[in-house]
Chains A and B, each alone.
Chain A
Amino acid sequence: MKHIYIALFLPFFFVSNKAISGDPEAGKARYAQNCGNCHGPGGMGLASYPRISGKEVPYLTERLKTYRAGTKVGPNSDLMIMMAKPLTDLEIDNLAAYLASDPAGKK
């Protein structure tokens, strides 16, 4: 009986999760516009710019919205505030979905 509940619930979970977290393909395209210049391919992290690949959706979404609001978090905040300002809610969701999929792969 327990297995039936899980089987019924899982498809709903994945559909809902995708709807909430955005479109990874659209996020990949948006990431390619300028994020990769600092954070590197797939968000691998380069030089003094941190790895963001594989972070969880809520973390990424909250952090981008914080920067978009002009709030500083860490020493490179001024750069991120400038970059996040033009992002729409949908773009943030898409970026979070893409990066949460860990496109740079495990270290």
Chain B
Amino acid sequence: MFKKSKLLSAAIFSAASLLAFNGQADTMGTPKISAMSILNGLENPWDMAFTKKGDMFFTEKCKGFSVKTKSGAVNKLYGMKGTSGYNSAGDDLFCEGQAGMLGIAVDPNFKKNRRIYVASASTAHRGSGCKDNFDVCNGNIIMRFEVSKDMKSVSNRTDIVTDIQYKPFESDHPFGGPGAHNGNRLRFGPEGYLWATTGDRHKGDIPQHPTLLGGNVLRIDTDGKAHPGNKPPKGFDKRMYTYGHRNVQGIDFRPSDGRAFTAEHGPWHNDEITALVNGGNAGWDPKEKVAGRGACPDKYCGYMPNQKEGMLPAARAEAGTPMSDERFKDLMPPAWNNNGLSQGTGSAAFLTGSNWGYWEGRMAVGIMGIAFGGTPSGMRIDIVDITKDGKAIKSVIQMPTGLTKRFRGLRMFNGDLYATVDEGEIYKISARK
């Protein structure tokens, strides 16, 4: 049975969706939305980050990172193995499946130190690991670069985190290719520390593992060291702010109180938005032979049950390995579960600026969305009004962008919302009252 809260959420969602499209919204002061493509012809653009002056750095998953300067010029800065046209490149950087060059962030002190941070799959720090999918595999890293004054090159690459886990081989699962579930969104928090998300990489014991980085949100300084205030459980890696996640690719900080929220993909059910608690557990535990489960393919129960066939989403949400397992005492319960659906919820940004009207302060959530097993396609941006305590939502509506795209990355800058889409574009989405 669905819980009452889920049914209430569904009712709110339905009513709010109608409101957004039936024309009555204008009488309530709903902002008018316009979307404009500012870059196209890209190959899987994943994330972007802005300097205070308005230069936009962006990644392309299998190519590298570039910058679109305030003047409009696009400079290709640092490529991956096998790419061409970049000012320089790293031969250890590669893409495979869901992995590649993903998150990017600009240092809050960029004007002084010229630093940016980039997350990518890499072969540089594997050592003797990665022999099979059960082995330790340090294959995702976070790099720091310094950008030249003319914005045409980068230098002084320093790998500040070198042990984020990576999936090296195929496994017997629906999305079973190598390179699965990397997280890798990077954002600076309001206190100036770098937050990095990681994924479970289809290894059953990773999310609840005390020392292997995967299924976490990390809070680190710009050298990769733990924030001194992180409070993971005793014996856990001090870089962890939270653990027990599946594959976090959306994270942002609520402007009113600075609190971190994540938006996360669900396993064929229950995408989640969660208010983070220092040291908290998101409750994802896909290990086999626990919580009443038996053995699972390749020791990973993340797609159980019935992983090979279509199944009604509600039934899957009820019977599947829970995203937020209530047997954990340190569980951070989600504020929203996307009505029990998994549609590729993969990015998040709080709307800032009075031009957003009464949507200001709400969370925009980018949804990619693949339609199978009875789940409708996503391809939208939701606007979620989260309660002050972060434990529930007041409403969720669809942003009327006029776009049906796989929204991969969201970022606010100067009152506008920017979005990367898998179709190869970056959009600027503006609001006016």
Contact = CB atoms under 8 A, between A and B. Distances in A.
B85 to A, nearest CB: 15
A77 B373 CA distance: 15
A71 interface: no
A48 B408 CA distance: 13
Contact of B174 (A38, A44, A78): A78
- Could you say which of A34, A47, A76, A82 has the most chain B C-beta atoms within 10 Å of its C-beta? A47
Chain B interface: which size bin? 20 to 34
Contacts of A46: 44, 406, 422-423
- Could you say which of A40, A46, A82 has the most chain B C-beta atoms within 10 Å of its C-beta? A46
Interface stretch (B136-144, B306-314, B348-356): B306-314
Given A44-B423, A46-B44, A78-B308, A37 B176 contact: no
Contacts of B174: 76, 78-79
A67 B260 CA distance: 43
A41 interface: yes
Contact of A37 (B44, B170, B179, B371): B371
A101 B243 CA distance: 48
B180 to A, nearest CB: 9
A37 B308 contact: no
Contacts of B307: 78
B29 interface: no
Contacts of B170: 75
A34 B308 CA distance: 18
Interface string B271-293: 00000000000000000000000
Interface in B15-68: 44, 61
Interface in B62-86: none
B370 A76 contact: no
Contacts of B162: none
Nearest to B179: A48
B210 interface: no
B370 A40 contact: no
Interface residues of A, number: 17
Contacts of A78: 173-174, 176, 307-308
Interface string A65-101: 0000000001110110111000000000000000000
Contacts of B368: 47
Chain B interface helix/strand/loop/mixed: loop
Contacts of A47: 44, 61, 98, 368, 406, 408, 422
A21 to B, nearest CB: 26
B97 interface: yes
Interface of B: 44, 61, 97-98, 170, 173-179, 307-310, 368-373, 377, 379, 406, 408, 422-424
A40 B406 CA distance: 9
B423 A48 contact: no
Given A37-B379, A40-B423, A76 B44 contact: no
Contacts of A79: 174-175, 370, 372
B423 A75 contact: no
Contacts of A38: 370
Interface in A21-45: 34, 37-38, 40-41, 44
B420 to A, nearest CB: 11
Interface string A36-62: 011011001011100000000000000
Contacts of B98: 47-48
Contacts of A83: 372
Contacts of A40: 406, 422-423
14 contacts: A34-B377, A40-B406, A40-B422, A40-B423, A44-B424, A46-B422, A47-B368, A48-B97, A48-B98, A78-B176, A79-B175, A79-B370, A82-B310, A82-B372
A79 B406 CA distance: 18
Nearest to A39: B370
A74 B172 CA distance: 11
Nearest to B95: A48
Contacts of B173: 78
Contacts of B422: 40, 46-47
B177 A48 contact: yes
